[in-house]
Amino acid sequence: MKNETLAPVVISSNDLLTQWQGHRSLTRRVIEAFPEDKLFSYSVGGMRPFSELALEMIHMAVPSVAGIITGEWKTFGESEAEEKPTTKAGLLKLWDESTEKLNELFPQIKLERFQEIEKAFGQYEGTNHSLIFYCIDNEIHHRGQGYVYLRSLGIEPPFFWERQ
């Protein structure tokens, strides 16, 4: 569905990407803060280990932007890496590759695509910009779980406001 007239812009596409990448930078530091032996196994209250939460973020980011660009949506998880990393270095490598791919793809989103309504991954209907906000909100939510894990391990997490 296409909007014929676009409302005035409050934030530019570039500023939105900068905001998202600031969150990704902070989440990367949370991954780094985990001890190697706890990143893949530690959880609180039955929640998933932080490595699984980070993989979910990875599997949402680039596929969401690619879908917004092309209008073609795979089933969620279809584009996931075949092998899950088993080391912090491997997880950080995937994180960094995803971050670079976002930098490459995001500027390719045509402005009118942000306002268009689609059914992302065949299940989430809404505007494309709302999907981007969902990806950011989901990351913040799961990063908060990581903060709880780190604090329960006696580790001071990075300051949440430092997103460079």
What count of Cα atoms within 13 Å lies in the side-chain half-sphere of residue 124?
A: 19
The answer to whether residue 106 is domain-embedded is yes
The answer to whether residue 148 is domain-embedded is yes
By residue range, what is the domain housing residue 70?
25-153
The answer to whether residue 163 is domain-embedded is no
The answer to whether residue 33 is domain-embedded is yes
From CA 90, how far away is CA 84, in angstroms rounded? 9
Report how far apart, in Å, the C-alpha atoms of 92 and of each of 75, 99, 111, 112 are.
Answer: 24, 10, 31, 33
The answer to whether residue 117 is domain-embedded is yes
Number of domains within the chain: 1
The answer to whether residue 10 is domain-embedded is no
pTM for this entry = 0.88
Phi-psi region of 86 (alpha: psi -120 to 50; beta: other; left: phi over 0): alpha
Amino acid at 145: Q
The answer to whether residue 141 is domain-embedded is yes
Q: Average pLDDT of 141-157? A: 95
Report how far apart, in Å, the C-alpha atoms of 70 and of each of 111, 118, 120 are.
Answer: 13, 11, 11
C-alpha closest to that of 50 among 124, 141, 132: 141
The answer to whether residue 19 is domain-embedded is no
Domain at 80, CATH number: 1.20.120.450
From CA 159, how far away is CA 26, in angstroms rounded? 8
Indicate the pLDDT class of residue 1, thresholds 50, 70 and 90.
Answer: very low
Buried b (16+ CB within 10 A) or exposed e, 45-65: eeeebbbebbbbbbbbbbbbb
List, for residues 36-93, the tens digit of each pLDDT value.
Answer: 999 999 999 999 999 999 999 999 999 999 999 999 887 766 555 556 899 999 999 9
Q: Is the pLDDT assigned to residue 27 strictly greater than 80? A: yes
Residue 142 labelled as part of a binding site: yes
